[in-house]
Structure 1
């Protein structure tokens, strides 16, 4: 199935060498200029995927709104709309907390923001370097200018600027059957640090980072006045978090430090609905994977035995039916827990 837009025109398709040989047939090309312009427009249409359908934003607090992504994984049908896009409306302008998975999703978010407020977007914050949280930067830079501040931790900026940034763009196109085509990798242009504070009009933001959790570059952004904190992917409500770049014990340490420093909050995840007990409930689920694996290693049990212990753990069984991708991912993330437990135990 393809989502490409096409138009029907009797426009000649000229080989590349024709353009390179313009000195010989320049007059002919000038005569064909209207047709060439039409051809260029057709190519652009072909290379850019279709719009993403509008998702009305939900107001979570006085200043914070969320465009909710019901799906936890990218598909051709959802066109990559797999992670929440959050925006904060301040008297100084709008702040974006994670920009989505594509140019098209970012454009949809901009349409929704304009229904809430006429104020422009004045800053974007990216929680980490996984593409579903920053590929939408392209739309905001295109709409509000390339000088728009896009903030992230230094490791996130470095990773997106490297090979992994473009890899995420290609993967998202593949997973969505090219629906996100046309998206460019636009990395953060400003670096933040733990504890840094920002003031945007009537709203204060505080940056939190407590080491490796989901990745080694997880930025959580606290909206002080609203007692709402965007936590990226360190905790999820409706799926198992990818832990390939992360750490189980690191996640538990991060949860404790974040809770101790921010206090009671409405925790807003990158995937799923926000909740005041999100860190507690997701932490219990992760502990149901980690603790049996650690015990299995200490008892000299195999990875297969550890997996069965995990599946029998009531904390895991409780969530097995309501987590997207559980069947496909529990084996992998049990293996990662077992490998990390081996290092931890010895």
Structure 2
């Protein structure tokens, strides 16, 4: 184990970690200072990120990096949106354990969830990165470069220096990984939900489900690459799993009722648009649909995304006719 990792592994020296990394690699100090891992199950930790859009102040950090610690290894899910954020996630892991990080899983193609991969490859060149086969293909075909550029632009170059480490290990539905006393079960979403690259991960022994952006809690997210009907179907599928703890893509972890709550948002928007589209234009629908969404009005992203969600639902409903 190298000097940097040894320092990070020792809680007494954790205060030195940022300066050690700063000698050669940028680290997100805000994540280290303000966002601590929360233990949501015996072996599962989540760093619940802020819910604002990526900006210079949050350094692009907005998702929920998670990690599973066993006697054998550490497994990471969605390490964040830049190399600096990934290094901070790794530093938080090293405060808890010095076990090797051998596997990193990605829930979907959006770069705010996986561009932190670089940090884990820096520490362990043998680490394996897993994702939906569509995610790997899309990333190779330009999505990776587009997300690196997007994060740089949105954060005013706060994420500069990030290199896209694209997953190489394609997942299939029903895959099962032995993590050393725990099982990671893979649920590939058929068709589009939040995207056409979505994967959910389940730890059956601890009844924990990681949903990626298929499910969010107190955060309305973009649906430009998704399907409202598909999102409802994916939420219904998740509700049929034997889990009682849910780690969403954005927002705080919670109970299984979160699945129904987010599904209801997608369903209300989509079904309302389908009912109204013969009589009015999408922009005319908004006040009527808002009246059915009073529980969601305070969620970050609501004001920015609802109008677009109505327009996207109208397009999806039209496509259903063919």
* Common fold by TM > 0.5: yes
CA contact (8 A) 1:49 1:179 kept: no
Correspondent of 2:93 among 103, 106, 113: 113
CA contact (8 A) 1:50 1:179 kept: no
Correspondent of 1:273 among 242, 252, 256: 252
Residue in structure 2 matched with residue 176 of structure 1 by the alignment: 155
Deviations 1:265-314 (A, max 9, x none): 311111101122111111111222111101012x432222322221121x
CA contact (8 A) 1:196 1:206 kept: yes
CA contact (8 A) 2:217 2:250 kept: yes
Correspondent of 1:331 among 304, 307, 314: 307
In the superposition, the TM-score normalised over structure 1's length comes to 0.82
Gaps spanning 5+ residues in structure 1: where?
1-44
Paired residues for 1:152-163 under 5 Å: 152-163=131-142
- Say whether residues 1:192 and 2:168 are aligned partners: no
CA contact (8 A) 1:197 1:204 kept: yes
Residue in structure 2 matched with residue 73 of structure 1 by the alignment: 53
**Larger gyration radius, structure 1 or structure 2:** 1
By how many angstroms is 1:209 displaced? 1.6
RMSD over equivalenced CA pairs, Å: 1.6
SS of the residue 1:188 aligns to = coil
SS of the residue 1:138 aligns to = helix
By how many angstroms is 1:51 displaced? 3.1
Correspondent of 1:222 among 189, 192, 202: 202
Residue in structure 2 matched with residue 143 of structure 1 by the alignment: 123
Deviations 1:201-244 (A, max 9, x none): 11101100232100011000001111001000001112212211
SS of the residue 2:85 aligns to = helix
By how many angstroms is 1:344 displaced? 2.4
Give the Cα–Cα distance (whole angstroms) in 1 for the partners of residues 140 and 56 of structure 2. Answer: 26
Give the Cα–Cα distance (whole angstroms) in 2 for the partners of residues 236 and 79 of structure 1. Answer: 21
CA contact (8 A) 1:234 1:241 kept: no
Residue in structure 2 matched with residue 85 of structure 1 by the alignment: 65
By how many angstroms is 1:253 displaced? 1.1
In the superposition, the TM-score normalised over structure 2's length comes to 0.88
Correspondent of 2:296 among 316, 319, 324: 319
**Equivalent residue pairs, number:** 295
CA contact (8 A) 2:27 2:87 kept: no
- Say whether residues 1:100 and 2:80 are aligned partners: yes
SS of the residue 1:290 aligns to = helix
By how many angstroms is 1:345 displaced? 4.6
Gaps spanning 5+ residues in structure 2: where?
1-21
Deviations 1:60-98 (A, max 9, x none): 000100011022310100101111100000121000011
Residue in structure 1 matched with residue 265 of structure 2 by the alignment: 285
By how many angstroms is 1:325 displaced? 2.1
By how many angstroms is 1:139 displaced? 0.5
By how many angstroms is 1:50 displaced? 5.7
Give the Cα–Cα distance (whole angstroms) in 2 for the partners of residues 69 and 338 of structure 1. Answer: 32
Deviations 1:107-139 (A, max 9, x none): 001110011111111100000110011100001
CA contact (8 A) 1:231 1:270 kept: yes
CA contact (8 A) 2:51 2:219 kept: no
Residue in structure 2 matched with residue 28 of structure 1 by the alignment: none
